[in-house]
Amino acid sequence: MSDPLNHSYYAATAHAWRPHSFEDEDRDCDVAVIGGGFTGLSAALACAERGFSVSLFEAEHIGFGASGRNGGQLIPGLRWTASELEAEFGRERADALFGLCWCDNRVKARIDRHGIDCDLKPGHLEAAWTPKDFDAMRREADHLAARFGYKSDVVAKADMGAHIGSTLYHGGIHDPQSGHFHPLNYALGLAKAAEAAGVRIVEGRRASPDTARARFVIDATDSWIGEVEPDLGRYTVPIMNYNIATAPLANADALLPSDAAVADSRFVLNYFRLSADKRLIFGGGERYSQTPPRDIAAFVRPFMAEVFPGIADARIDYGWGGAVAVTMNRLPHIGRRGNVFFAHGFSGHGALVTTLAGELIAEAMAGTAERFDVLASLPSRPFPGGKWLRRPLATLGLLYYAMKDRLG
């Protein structure tokens, strides 16, 4: 299917991939996985490693959705800070969540184990939009160090030049345990590893829990989950995000001297990093309509120019977009209904936790559910408003927080 939103740098630099062809596509299996993104691929691979027979169905192609077109930023944790999790859920549950979502880097483990070539680089900088944001970041860094021994670097405004060639920010937190990568090539690497483990991957084939012939079904369709299971679709709304990639820049290292990925602290945040060939990959702005801008490059360019005025007129080679499935509380919605497991609503913070979620589903399916239950016990509730009003009501709420952002 031709996709006008996917004129992406990632698609242009993707490794070769073609799944094996199967004449008996409808044969029975132990596990049917619906969705060929990080969650589905990691679940399929982990299930096959545990001895299950697995078929994965992807309606388009591997990495078609957010897994193949996101910002490529690998940030440990969830959208809530560790201190917010502890205040809400108590010390014991916060410890369990920290052990999984901050410390258990399944992405790096998979890259190392399978030799996945996906331009993995270390380092992430959270940049403070206001002095108040920087104070909150510093308190959280102190909390992580004192409670968990998790060390990151507090960067004062005067020292930000070591990481970013912009005077826009009021300090930040540099986390050397974070990183960034080429997300589509990671997805393709998982697909190749899954096939090698015995997973049957079928592209261009729609499936649902009702049509899959399997003992267990894993619904890993994220932004499309409402089309597969309408009831689960009530728990998220899709928010459109857009990215650009410049031509290779002669001054790339001056823009981001430490080669860390960067995301700022605004509600409608900017996020950016350097590719392996020294392009600036920049995401900025959100739209609450699913109608994309006529010119994605023109839409994102002003956000890039605000951060880096010196490249305001740089050539932009690629512009693309996609939907992020956002929950009411920005925590993922993970669980089980009978023989159907699901994981969705990662709310723009899923590049690491999706792989973890897929592997924990495989653990639970094999009979060890304790760690799966840590994520499945996160609170969730559907957006109000029913089929027709859910999205407009959610949009009003998001616009409120975006306006607060602009007013400081």
Within a domain: 176: no
Within a domain: 203: yes
* Beta bridge mates, 91: none
Within a domain: 24: yes
CB neighbours of 317 closer than 8 A, spacing ≥ 6?
Answer: 9, 245, 246, 247, 279
Within a domain: 14: yes
Side-chain half-sphere exposure of 2, counting CA atoms within 13 A: 1
pLDDT tens track of the chain, all 408 residues? 446 567 899 999 999 998 876 655 567 999 999 999 999 999 999 999 999 999 999 999 999 999 999 999 999 999 999 999 999 999 999 999 999 999 999 999 999 999 999 999 999 999 999 999 999 999 999 999 999 999 999 999 999 999 999 999 999 999 999 999 999 999 999 999 999 999 999 999 999 888 888 999 999 999 999 999 999 999 998 888 999 999 999 999 999 999 999 999 997 899 999 999 999 999 997 766 677 888 999 999 999 999 999 999 999 999 999 999 999 999 999 999 999 999 999 999 999 999 999 999 999 999 999 999 999 999 999 988 766 556 665 565 555 555 555 555
CB atoms under 10 Å from CB of 181, counted, come to 22
Within a domain: 49: yes
Q: 116: which 2 tokens?
A: 């996945």
- Domain, as residue range, for 230: 6-70+184-235+328-384
Within a domain: 280: no
Number of domains in the chain: 1
Tell me the C-alpha distance between 218 and 35, whole Å: 9
Say which CATH number the domain at 42 has. 3.50.50.60
pTM recorded for the entire structure: 0.94
- Note the pLDDT tens digit of each residue in 92-148: 999 999 999 999 999 999 999 999 999 999 999 999 999 999 999 999 999 999 999
Phi, psi of 342 (to 5 degrees): -145, 155
Q: If 0-12 CB within 10 Å is exposed, 13-18 middle and 19+ buried, where does residue 113 land?
A: exposed
Within a domain: 332: yes
Tell me the C-alpha distance between 199 and 32, whole Å: 10
Within a domain: 354: yes
Q: 252: which 2 tokens?
A: 């790339």
Residue (of 45, 163, 153) closest to 107 by Cα position: 45
Q: CA angle, corner 284, sides to 403 and 178, nearest 5? A: 110
